[in-house]
Each structure stands twice: as structure tokens, then as C-alpha cells.
Structure 1
Amino acid sequence: MMRRGRAGVVSAVVFSVAVCLAGLWWTVKALSGAEEESDPAGVLAFLPSLVGAVLGGWGVWAGIRALQSQRTALVIAEGLAGLVAVGRSVRRTGSCWAALAGGAGRADRASLSLPTDASGVEAWCRGRKGTVGETRRLFYRGLRPGRMVITGTPSGGRGGRSGGDAGTGKTVLALSLILGLARERSPQEPVPVRLSAASWPGNEIRDWLRTHLADVYRLSRREAARLVEANLVLPVIDGLDEMDRGTAPGYTSRAADLLRCMERFEHGGAHCPVVVTCRHAHYQALVEAGTEPRIVARIAVARVDASRAHRYLSQRVAGTERGRARWQPVLSALDTVAADPAGPVPAEHTLLAQTLDTPWRLTLAATVFEERTTDGRYVRDPADLLALATGGHLYEYLLKTEYIVPCVGPHLTGRGGRHLPAAGHRHPVHA
């Protein structure tokens, strides 16, 4: 039916163009054949020719508009999914994302915490830990509706104090979900689109989506509205904790307003799917303030224990004899903690394991301390990780002084193809 309608529109456009050209040709012929300037035959011939030209032009315009209307929401969604799958948010994760998600020694594990109304997936998830791929394909696709919150898991810090969950991989997990859903979607499924919570203008979710699609993906206002109204866009709202200052947003905070706006995001009385990432403490404060929307599931990204960190580093950076020799102090410290976490473990070993207990920090450490010079010499010694962790400076060291060059340095060159200066000559990057 759609092909037949499109063929009819194309035929109408061709016919209109033909009428327009014929009218112009007849006008030129009539005027050139007139013997006198006031020849009535030329004037009479010009009038119907002009009418034909106007009608032909109108037909062309109407045909073009009709062809544009043939671009249905499903067609637009298919094109958007292709843009999302290769979009800027994915490219920005760079080699660090590839290192985190790839390999048999991956550290991207997530513990799944479900409310009582999550029947249908609770039997699959109870007491089980899954990789990002399993979470994406099995867990999320089983949710009805697809409403989910991704938080981190607090860790025990020095003196028994609870540490935050920065760097646990919430955004990485969300990006993995976006990639998987965009690449494996069926024609009827919504396209996942990442939104920064801090950029929320304060309007309804649908208005926000329409503006975002037009500004970021360069869709026309008509196409963006058509997608949103057809419920073919899945908002993945990243960084709910970045909307307000402090760690305890209350009922009147911007984050709370956005959660209430999400509760109104529905179609035909049913809640529309949405995914949110937020730090654990911030989201718990919002829950206690009574602003939590009716989310079907909540995923808590688990900490990387010492044994898993040991296995990850062994497979990623210590697979050769030289690699094992370089990383032996770190591997021995992690092995000591893994063997008896509650036993008499040296403090520096415990602090190292605690510092490397998130996928992001573990991947950063492996990337930074594997950097080489142009002649193949290693820039840093992994044994320094113990001293940095003991002094409480390891995470800041990775972020502020050495992260940028190891992750994106191979892709950065100056003018004329000159490589940029080494890491030690860079200004620190403030986290």
C-alpha cells in the first residue's frame, strides 16, 4: 500500500512538471510567432500558458510535500537508530570503553536489585550476577514497562566510612544498553537516546525529546514530533545526581522535579519506558524524600572484588612474562586481599584493593601504567600504585595528571602531524 501510494505521488509530480514545462514552451512559441506586439493571438495564448505554469509549480510543491509525508515514523526511527549506534556519545568513550567491555577478564559486572512487582524477570535475576550484555538483552527487554534506574554500590572506606560510587561504571553501563538496543532493535521498538539530566530545561519529557532530536540529530521539527508521538524514542537520562548541589537533594530539588515529570511520561494511561543513571546516595535521598517514580527495576553496579581485579589485570596486562614481572607487586597485593579479606592483610594492600574496586578505576590504572614512549619504554612502574593508593592519591593521579594522554593520546597530533607532548608536560585535568 505504501509503495503504491508513493508511486502515485511520483507520477503526480512528473505530470505536474510536464504541464509546467509544456505551458512555458507554448508561451515562448506563441510570443515568438506573433507578428505584432499587439497580436491578440499571442496574448490569448499567453494566458492559459501562464495558468498552466502556475498549476504545474503548485503541483511540484504539493508533490514534494506529499513525498515528505511518506517518511513514516518507522522509517525515521530506523535512520535515527543508525545515528545513535555510531554517535558522538559512543565515540567519546574511546579505547577506555573498549578495554572495559572487551576480553574474557572483563570487570563489568552488575548486581541486580528488584522490587516486588518485577515478576517475569525476578526468577531469572534472583541471586545472579550478569554481564552488561546479559543485562541488556535479557533483563531490560523483560521489563514491562522498560523503566529502570542504574546506581552504583557504596564501598567501605577508611575507618569504616562508606565511600561514594563515583566511577563504578553507571554511564558505561547505560552506553552499553544504548548500543545494544540501537543495534538489535526491531522496527517497532523505541530508539534509545542519551540525554544529560543537567541539560533538562524544565519542561515535559516529550517536549525535551523533540528539541533534543532536532538540535542534536538534526531531524526536522515535524519528524521529531512524529517520532515522539509514536513513542519510538527511549530516553536514557544520564547523571541525575548532577542536577543539584550537595549529596541530599530534597523534594523541591530539580532532580525531584524531573522524577515527577517522568511519572507523567505516559501514553494511553500506561507508563512509557525510561532509563536513569544516578549516584547511590543522591537517589536514596530522593527515595526518602518521597519523589521516586514507579520504576520497575533498579540496577546497582557491583564493586570489583580483589579476586576479579586480579583476574582482569592478569589477562589484560600480565599475559606475558615481562608483563607479569612488571605487575607482580600489584597482583601479589590483590591476591593477598582475595585470599583472606578479613585476615591480617597489610594496610597498603587493602587500600589498593579498595581504590581499584570499580571498573572505571581498574581500567584507568591498566591503561595509564601501560603507556609507552615511542621507543617502547614504559612511562610508569605499576609498583607505584601501592604508594599512591596508600597516600590516598591514586584516583586523583589517574584523573588529573595522566588520564587524557593514555586514553586519547594516540589519536591526538599537532599541526603537521607532530605528536603532542608527553603526559608529564600536560596541565592537570580537574575532576
Structure 2
Amino acid sequence: MRLSGRSWWVAGGVLLAVAGGTWRLWVEGTRGAEIANVLALPVSLLGLAIAAIGLWAALVSRRDQVGAAVADLAEELSREEAAALAQLLGETGDPQPANVGFDRLALVRWRNDGGDRQGNLAQIGAYYGRLDRGRLVVLGRPGSGKTVLAVHLVLDLLRTRPTAPGPKARVPVRLSLPAFDSLLGDDGEQVSDRILKQRLDDWLAAQLVQRGLSRSNAEGAVKQGWILPVLDGLDEMDPDDTPPLRAAAVIRALNATADPVVLTCRRERYDQLLGTASAQAVQDATTVMLEPLSPATVREYLTYLFPDPTHPTRIAAHWRATARALDRATPSPFITALCSPWQLYLCRTAFADPSQGDPHTQLAELAPDELNTELLRRLIPAAVANHTGPRGERHDADSVKRWLITLARTSPQSGSSSDILLHQLGTAVGSRAPRYIIGLALAVLVTLPLLLLIGLPYLEAVGFPPDTPQAWYGLFSSVLLVGGVGLRASASAPSLNRIDLSTRRRRRDLVSQVAFWIVGGLVVGLMIWLAFGLAFGPRFGFKFGLTVGIGAGLAVGLAVGLALRPSYIRAPSDLARQGITHDTVVTVAVGLPTGLAAGLVIDLATGFAAGLALGPAIGLALRPSPWPRYFVAVLLGRINRTLPPRPARFLDWAYTAGLVRLSGIGIQFRHREFETWLVNQSTDDALSARPRTPCT
């Protein structure tokens, strides 16, 4: 905190007064010492008061800094959630979802948090504001609109958020719970509720860092109660055929305190949690159940979406038969389907264009299963017709269907639905082929510079086979290096990383990692000195061990210190962009010290060239990257026509078109029903015809 000019004058005056008083007491001698002893107590108390005031001022300044960062976060979240709502509804401008209603459930074994007996999406912000503690659980059937309601709640709270600090100034942050994988280990280890709550808070702070806050501001925002977690997808944390261990752990963490929280879950999974021996449910929370839309609400919504151009209060001509059926509200599979938010989305997307005809005429006579299948069949052609790529390109519907079938059938299981993990796309063409190809390619990349720059000149000088211990040492080391790089690069579980040096803590971590590995490299260098000193002599062994140890330690420290696992993306291609940037920086950072060490051992020109050539391969071997395999998988997928030419860009388009959604760093299909339909499609239908034009 800087002092003003007037403050400097006051401080100078106080300093002169203290100096004059001290000189006066010195002149007084013994009497002055007695006076000083008497004055010591009030002066000490005054100093303590000044220190306390300074500490209080620092805390106030720190709180103000966190509050300013949170205010900036609120503005960013308003734009982000508005875009998310438009993407979920498949609309632009100011999208309005159907006004789904909900009823409060009477879970009498757990205290509720107040609130009215009924409510609806249009009033969700006001409904939440009337809760006593701000703890709300939203349950619903698949496709009932839980995520849309959560987004709408976030937007309502951000829109009415006061600027003054207080409970109502909390910033709602919507988070995808399937991305939270640190509550329990694979063995379902049991830890205390306090530790679970701390892990949840740490994850929340990490998510805020991903959204632009510094680490200190993120942790301060969580500890000071500035954040309202809106946790979406509790039912997706565990596969459906396994016990909900991770979901139960989340509820235990939430029950460790009575802090405000919003949680969404499928009703079936929540009932399963209630039926466990420990009967896990969120305590001190109001639990509401989303209800199907009423026919009147559906008619009102369709009139809003498709007004008659000549009479804005009337519905468009190709929806009038549907409107009359909704007015009659006669029970039928078609009316029941329209009362489901998910199937209503499918129907209005498929028949948005008047050229598609009247939906009632084409769908009203179908049985429920046939109706659902027909709506799903029309989704991809409608998405292709309504959405172009970022450069104006338009995909072919048959190609899109074939690519999505491939992704649906090969995506690894994560949670209760399949996540399309972009960095694991190699499973689409066989998990082994990309691994072995990349392992062999990196081994060749290591072999060529060794052979051309070092091996051939050496063999020309000494001949083959080697006839000295030194030559055998060199040959054995080269073979060991090549084999190690190849095996490491073909590891079955590559690491997914990004670079983040935006915070002081991350920069400190990098420095500490580099220092630690340099010390480790010196220890290894000492061992090399002892080993190579026997064959090459102590002098060469010392030089070789010292340079290789320091170079290797620096390279490993940079590779480890620069790596940070991503946990949040705004678009599917962000994951690839972050990973490729990390790999590029790491290969350069590893290649430079490797080249320098090799240059000092051999000669500067030859060694540095060899080190720079070896650096990328060694860097990728130290931190096995999934992205070289990704490029191999894309190449193989293009050959057999099972993958798009640019999967990351294609998934960006599919996300914009509403076919997929984001879940942490994973990509999920828009709805589990859509994913199941893709998996069950005939392979012959999907792959028999070569696409006319994959992308025009």
C-alpha cells in the first residue's frame, strides 16, 4: 500500500519527535531512564495496536482483492453460461427454455432447507433465494432438463447478484462432477469426511484457477465463502452397473458442513444412494423433482419458437396440427414425447425447417419406440442442415453419422456414460497399432542421429565388431537408450499435460523440480563416473558423468516441472491445443540441455547436433504424450474412413451443433439415449457407402 504525500509528512514528524524525545531522555541521565521505563508500557501497547491495525488493514486489502477477482469471474461466467444455454437449446440470440416445473420431495429423514412446495424454471432464481441455507438438490429422469435448469439458475443468480459482500453475493460456478476423480481411489478407500471436504474444496479452487483466477485468489474465494458450487451430474460419477462409491463420497463431503450448494442427479441413482446401508443423502437441503412439461406449456413454447410471420401470436402453419393435438391433450405417444424436454428438443430440431413438413402427420401414428427412433434418426441431418463449420464448410450427414458411430463404439467408459477422450482416440483404430508405431518411430529418431553423427565416424575409425571395452560400453549404452526410449514411448498410459506458469506458485514449483532433478543428476553422474572411469580413465569418466548428470537432471526437471494436468476446457479442441503446446515446449526445453551435455562430452558441433536431434524423442519418452498417437490414429482412421480428417475441429462443430457436450476435459454425447442409438446402428449401413463429400 503506497503512502500519500501528506502521510509522508506525518511519518517524518513522528520520527523527528521520537528522535528529539530520545535525545532529551539521554541528557537527563538516570532520571531520563526512569521516565523511559514509565513510558515503555504505553509505547509498547501503542506499537501492538499499530501492528494489529496494520494486520487488519492487510486482511481487508486481501479480502478486497479476492472480491475484485470474484467480480471479474462473475462477468466471465455470465457470458460463458449464456453461451452454454444457447448451445444446449440449439438457439442463438436470447434463448428461452421450456418452463419445466418441479415439486418439493418430502424426504422426512433429512432436514430440508425450506422453500415453496412447487416452482418452475422461470422462477428458479427467486425460489433458490427463499431457501434458508442455500442447499438445493435437483432430481429428474433422463432428459428431464436438469442441466438446463442448473444453467438457468446460475444466470438468474448472476443477474441479481449484489455488489456488496454477503451471502447473496456468492458467485455460482457450475461444475461437471464426472471431472472430479480425486475423492476415492480405485479400491474405494474410505477417508474421513473432513478430508473429503478438503479435497472437494481443493478441486473447486483448481477449477477457478482454470477459469483465470490466481491460485491465492481462488483458494481465498473458496475459504471466504464467495463461491456457490453448482455441481452437475452426480449420477455420472460411477458406472450404472457398479456401486455409487464416488457419488456417496461427494455427498459425505457436502454433509461435512452446511455450506450452500446446488446438486443435480437422476432420480434412480439418488434412490440407489438412499437405499445403501449408510443411506447417503444431502442433509439440510431442499430436494425437488422435475416434472414432465404440460401440453399447455409445450404449446406456448412452440408458439414462441415458431410464430406465424403474418400473425406473431399464432403458431407457424406446419406446427398447427401439433398445436391442436396439444390443445386436446389426448394421451398418445406423440403428446407424451413432446412433454419430455429431451424429445421436445429432438422434435423441434428435426422440424424447424417448414420443408420437413408437419410433425403431427408424420409422427402421431408411431408407437413409442418407433417415434423415439425416428426422432433420433432425424437429429444428425437437422444438425448438418442448421450448422456450418467455423470456415463455412458443411459436412455430409452420412459421414457425420459414421464418425459418431465410431466414436460411440470406441470411447472408453468413464462414469455412467461414455466420454470421448480426444487424447485416447487411438482406440478408434485399435489401441495397439498407434502405440507400437510411435514407439518404433521414436526409437528410429534416436537411432538415426546416434548412427549418423557418432556411430558411423566411430566405426570407421575402430572397425566392427568392437575390440575394446570402451567400444562395447558405447554400443551397449546406445542399444539401451534406443530400447528404453521405444518402450517408454509405447507405454499404455501416456500422460496428459498442459503448461501453466501464470502463477507464482507454479513458477516456484518449476524451480524446485529443476533443482531437485539436477541434484539427482549429480548423484547419477557420480555413479557414471565410477563406472566409466574404469574403462575410459578417471578424467574422462568425471567429465562424462558430470555433464551427463547435470544435463539429464536439467532435462528431466524441465519435463516434470512444466507438466500440469488439464481439468477444464471451453471447447473440445482446447485439449489438443494445450497438449501440443506442452509437447513443443518440452521437446525444445529438453533438447537444449541434452545437446549442450553431448557437445561438452564429444565436440561442441557434433554433440550439440546430436543432442538437439535426440531431445524431442527423449522429451516425449520422459513424459509419454498421447498426441503423436493421436496423429497416427487420425491417419489410420482417414484410410479406413472411420474418423474425420480433423477430429478436434469436427468435435468443435458437433459441440456447437448440440450433438455432444463437455464434461470436464471429456466430451459426452448430448444424451445417453442418442449414444445408445448410435452404438446400435448397423455397421453395414454406416460403413458400406463411401461418403460423397466429407467436407465441402
TM tier, shorter chain?
0.5 to 0.7
Pair 1:146-2:134 in alignment: yes
The answer as to 2:77 corresponding to 1:84 is yes
Describe the shift of the 1:132–1:8 C-alpha distance in structure 2 as closer, same or farther (beyond 3 A).
farther
Residue 230 of structure 2 is aligned to residue 236 of structure 1: yes
In the TM superposition, what are the counterparts of 1:67-146 in structure 2 within 5 Å?
A: 72-87=65-80, 89-94=81-86, 97=89, 106-115=98-107, 117-118=111-112, 121=115, 125-126=116-117, 128=118, 130-137=119-126, 139-146=127-134
Distance in 2 (alpha carbons) for counterparts of 1:231 and 1:292: 23
User: 2:363 pairs with 358, 367, 386, which one?
Assistant: 386
SS in 2 for 1:72: helix
Is the partner of 2:216 in helix, strand or coil? helix
* CA distance in structure 2 between the aligned counterparts of 1:293 and 1:357, rounded to whole angstroms: 29
Residue 355 (structure 1) aligned with residue 350 (structure 2): no
Query: 1:52 corresponds to which residue?
Result: none
Secondary structure of 2:71's aligned partner: helix
Shift of residue 148 of structure 1?
A: 1.0
- Mapping 1:370-381, distance limit 5 Å: 370-371=352-353, 378-381=355-358
Counterpart amino acid of 2:333?
Answer: L
Corresponding position of 1:44: none
For residue 229 of structure 2, give the secondary structure of its aligned residue in structure 1: strand
User: What's the TM-score once normalised by structure 2's chain length?
Assistant: 0.42
Contact 1:317 1:366 in 2 (8 A): no
CA drift at 1:94: 1.9
Who is 1:258 aligned against?
250
**Contact persistence 2:86–2:92 (CA under 8 A):** no
Structure 1 residues 104 and 220, CA, compared in 2 at 3 Å: closer, same or farther? closer
Counterpart contact for 1:140–1:146, Cα < 8 Å: yes
Counterparts of 1:276-355 in structure 2, within 5 Å, are 276-289=263-276, 290-317=279-306, 319=308, 325-336=317-328, 338-339=329-330, 341=331, 350-355=332-337
Q: CA deviation digits over 1:196-248, x for unaligned, max 9? A: 11111224221111111112x0211111111111111111111111111117x
**Pairing partner for 1:221 from 215, 218, 222:** 215
**Partners of 1:255 and 1:105 in 2: CA distance:** 28
Alignment check: 8 A CA contact 1:109 1:301 kept: yes
The offset of 1:169, in angstroms, is: 0.5
**Map of 2:424 onto structure 1:** none
Structure 1 residue corresponding to 2:203, chosen from 203, 208, 211: 208
The structure-2 alpha-carbon separation of the partners of 1:396 and 1:253, relative to structure 1 and needing over 3 Å to count, comes to: farther
> Is 1:274 aligned to residue 261 of structure 2?
yes
Listed as ranges, the gaps of 5+ residues in structure 2 are 9-57, 184-198, 405-673, 676-696
In the aligned structure 2, how far is the partner of 1:272 from the partner of 1:404? 46
Query: Which amino acid in 2 is paired with 1:222?
Result: S
One of 171, 180, 196 as aligned partner of 2:156 = 180
* Counterpart for residue 412 of structure 1: 388
Mapped partners of 2:3, 2:375: distance in 1: 60
Distance across 2 between alignment mates of 1:100 and 1:147: 32
Question: What is the alpha-carbon root mean square deviation over aligned residues?
Answer: 3.7
Larger Rg: 2
Q: Any conservation in 2 of the 1:402–1:423 contact (CA below 8 Å)?
A: no
CA contact (8 A) 1:105 1:315 kept: no
What is the identity, as a one-letter code, of the residue corresponding to 1:233? Answer: I
Residue of structure 2 in register with 1:167 after alignment: 143
After superposing the two structures, state which structure 1 stretch, 171-180 or 299-308, moved more: 299-308
1:196 counterpart = 2:162: no
Matched residue type, 1:111: D
State whether residues 167 and 359 of structure 1, in contact with CA within 8 Å, keep that contact through their aligned partners in structure 2.
Answer: yes
Asked if the contact 1:110/1:131 (under 8 Å) is kept, the reply is yes
CA contact (8 A) 1:405 1:422 kept: no
- Counterpart-to-counterpart distance in 2, 1:108 and 1:423: 32
Q: SS of the residue aligned with 2:72?
A: helix
TM-superposition CA deviations, 1:365-418 (whole Å, max 9, x none): 1232013xxxxx624542465268525144454446525854x86553364xx4
Q: Which moved more, 1:179-188 or 1:282-291?
A: 179-188
SS in 2 for 1:93: helix
Q: Aligned partners of 2:204, 2:132: CA distance in 1, in Å?
A: 21
Could you tell me the percent identity over the aligned residues? 27
Which has the higher mean CA deviation after the structures are superposed, 169-178 or 182-191? 182-191
**SS of the counterpart of 1:278?**
strand
Contact 2:137 2:264 in 1 (8 A): yes
CA deviation string 1:290-336 (max 9, x = no partner):
01120420121110133432343344336468965422443344344
Cα offset, 1:194, TM superposition = 1.2
- Could you list the per-position Cα deviations for residues 352-377 of structure 1 after superposition, in whole angstroms to 9, with x for gaps in the alignment? 12222222321331232013xxxxx6
In structure 2, how many angstroms separate the alpha carbons of the residues matched to 1:313 and 1:115?
Answer: 35
Kept in 1, the 8 Å contact 2:349–2:382? The answer is: no
Alpha carbons of structure 1 residues 109 and 404: separation in structure 2 relative to 1, 3 Å: farther
